[in-house]
């Protein structure tokens, strides 16, 4: 990883924006049960025709003509839903090093293990090495490496806010003043990155205080990003970090917070007024290396935060922090979310929730004219939330990017 992320990012700023490479293949999914949206009743014995990356037709068998030259996948006994979003990932593991020149085979294999095997057709990267991520995104969009659409948020840290879990030799983009934060946000905009991530709280270690970002510094970055129509994420570590989210007008909290017992009524009122979204990352906290009794209390706290946030009407975005964690299997996250959400709410956090929040008008639903981003499941996710992790095939823009052997 280079010593200066910002310099590396500038060298890669010509990388392609998220979007699948053009394909002419006609793909048909036949015989499955389809949930067009999380709130919809299932369409049984359905036929979905995809062409040029979009859903060309959908209906019951016998109502939709199957083109003679189509590639047909038999989905009898299976369930089809819209492609999943993971709104908190990192491409920082060893297989992504030198992604510009690495062989496509190993990159594809790790992409399957980490993301496409679990149904993800769109992801938000909230902090990786641009020298690796931007070329990787370019290769995915060119069709060299089957993978999801990648949206990339450039990071800004508070002064002296180098997290304890990152190697100390890495030089990170820090902002000690509002002017510096605004400058960094403008640079990310010039690079055509898709958003900004602020560390409103930076973890320095259990025996050290959290370094928080001043709200005025955070707001300077938010104002620049919002002027370009780009969302801002924040990593809060404690109450002060949450309060900075509110004061600065941040869009998405990238985690629940273990260092605060629940959300206050005042915080919830601000979240609702300001349309703040939440990515809970519950499994991250469930797997902390602490005694079981402490882990249980932490999980109860963050699950309680999710319940309060959802009951307050906030948008919940599925995310796991995968890449930072090695918890690839999404089953635990679904089980923890299901403690306080319905199966349909969990499905919405993967589909219509992020598509609506990030203004991706043609994603999140299985309807004619929408992007052909689809997931084929081995079971009905509305009867058992764990079926969301039982993926048979992942399809992005009408192209199969993962199929169960």
Q: What is the pLDDT along the chain (405 residues), one digit of tens a residue?
A: 334 444 444 444 433 334 444 445 899 999 999 999 999 999 999 999 999 999 999 999 999 999 999 999 999 999 999 999 999 999 999 999 999 999 999 999 999 999 999 999 999 999 999 999 999 999 999 999 999 999 999 999 999 988 888 888 888 999 999 999 999 999 999 988 999 999 999 988 887 888 999 999 999 999 999 999 999 999 999 999 999 999 999 999 999 999 899 999 999 999 999 999 999 999 999 999 999 999 999 999 999 999 999 999 999 999 999 999 999 999 999 999 999 999 999 999 999 999 999 999 999 999 999 999 999 999 999 999 999 999 999 999 999 999 999
Q: How far apart are CA 224 and CA 193, in angstroms?
A: 13
Task: Return the pLDDT at 9.
Answer: 44
Same domain, 237 and 278: yes
Q: CA 22 → CA 364, 383, 388, distances in Å?
A: 20, 36, 28
Q: Is 35 helix (H, G, I), strand (E, B) or coil?
A: coil
Task: Return the pLDDT at 301.
Answer: 97
Contact 326, 318 (CB under 8 A): no
Residue 195 lies in a domain: yes
Q: What is the pTM of this model?
A: 0.93
Q: Which two tokens stand for residue 292?
A: 């079981």
Residue 21 lies in a domain: no
Q: How far apart are CA 348 and CA 265, in angstroms?
A: 25
Residue showing tokens 């780009």: 230
Same domain, 192 and 53: no
Same domain, 132 and 220: yes
Length in residues, the chain: 405
Same domain, 65 and 151: no
Same domain, 315 and 340: yes
Residue 171 lies in a domain: yes
Same domain, 194 and 172: yes
Same domain, 211 and 286: yes
Q: CA 27 → CA 70, 174, 357, distances in Å?
A: 5, 47, 29
Same domain, 176 and 299: yes
Task: Return the pLDDT at 18.
Answer: 42
CATH of the domain at 170: 3.20.20.140
Establish how many alpha carbons lie within 13 A of residue 280's alpha carbon, considering only the half-sphere containing its beta carbon.
34
Q: Which two tokens stand for residue 261?
A: 């017992």
Same domain, 89 and 217: yes
**In the listed set 319, 338, 357, which residue is the last one of a domain according to the structure?**
357
Same domain, 225 and 323: yes
Residue 33 lies in a domain: yes
Residue 3, classified by CB atoms within 10 Å of its CB into exposed (0-12), middle (13-18) or buried (19+), is exposed
Its domain, for residue 178, covers 5-15+83-357
Q: How many domains does the chain have?
A: 2
**In the listed set 320, 338, 357, which residue is the last one of a domain according to the structure?**
357
Task: Return the pLDDT at 15.
Answer: 35
42 Rama class: left (phi>0) / alpha (psi -120 to 50) / beta: beta
Residue showing tokens 């993926």: 391
Q: Phi then psi for 42, rounded to 5 degrees?
A: -70, 145
Q: How far apart are CA 139 and CA 101, in angstroms?
A: 10
Residue 122 lies in a domain: yes
Task: Return the pLDDT at 24.
Answer: 54
Q: CA 153 → CA 30, 44, 190, 260, 265, distances in Å?
A: 37, 39, 13, 26, 30
Selection from 400, 318, 322 nearest residue 96 by Cα: 322
Same domain, 280 and 382: no
CATH of the domain at 370: 2.30.40.10
Helix axis angle for 331-338 and 343-350, nearest 10°, is: 130
Radius of gyration of the CA atoms of the chain, in A: 21
Same domain, 46 and 152: no
Residue 20 lies in a domain: no
């Amino acid at each position: 990883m280079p010593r200066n992320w910002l310099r590396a990012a500038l060298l890669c700023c010509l990388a392609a924006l998220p979007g699948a490479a053009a394909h002419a293949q006609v793909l048909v999914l036949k015989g499955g049960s389809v949930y067009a949206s999380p709130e919809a009743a299932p369409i049984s014995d359905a036929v979905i025709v995809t062409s040029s990356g979009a859903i060309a037709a959908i209906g019951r068998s016998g109502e939709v003509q199957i083109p003679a030259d189509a590639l047909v996948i038999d989905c009898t006994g299976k369930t089809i839903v819209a492609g999943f979003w993971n709104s908190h990932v990192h491409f920082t593991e060893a297989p992504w090093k030198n992604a510009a020149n690495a062989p496509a085979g190993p990159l594809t294999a790790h992409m399957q293990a980490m993301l496409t095997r679990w149904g993800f057709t769109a992801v938000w990267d909230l902090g990786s090495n641009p020298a690796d991520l931007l070329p990787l995104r370019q290769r995915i969009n060119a069709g060299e490496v089957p993978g999801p659409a990648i949206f990339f948020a450039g990071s800004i840290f508070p002064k002296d806010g180098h997290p304890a879990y990152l190697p100390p030799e890495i030089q990170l983009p820090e902002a000690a003043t509002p002017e510096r934060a605004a400058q960094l946000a403008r640079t990310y905009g010039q690079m055509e990155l898709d958003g900004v991530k602020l560390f409103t709280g930076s973890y320095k270690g259990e025996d050290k205080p959290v370094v928080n970002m001043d709200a005025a510094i955070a707001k300077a970055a938010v104002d620049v990003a919002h002027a370009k129509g780009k969302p801002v994420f924040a990593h809060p570590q404690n109450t002060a970090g949450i309060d900075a989210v509110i004061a600065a007008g941040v869009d998405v909290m990238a985690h629940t917070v273990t260092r605060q017992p629940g959300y206050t009524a005042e915080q919830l009122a601000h979240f609702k007024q300001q349309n703040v979204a939440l990515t809970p990352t519950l499994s991250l906290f469930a797997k902390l290396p602490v005694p079981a009794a402490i882990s249980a209390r932490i999980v109860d706290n963050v699950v309680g935060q999710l319940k309060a946030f959802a009951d307050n009407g906030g948008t919940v975005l599925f995310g796991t922090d995968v890449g930072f964690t090695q918890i690839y299997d999404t089953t635990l996250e679904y089980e923890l979310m299901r403690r306080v959400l319905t199966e349909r709410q969990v499905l919405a956090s993967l589909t219509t929730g992020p598509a609506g929040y990030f203004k991706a008008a043609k994603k999140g639903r299985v309807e004619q004219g929408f992007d052909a981003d689809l997931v084929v499941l081995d079971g009905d996710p509305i009867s058992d939330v764990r079926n969301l992790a039982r993926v048979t095939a992942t399809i992005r823009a009408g192209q199969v990017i993962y199929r169960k052997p």
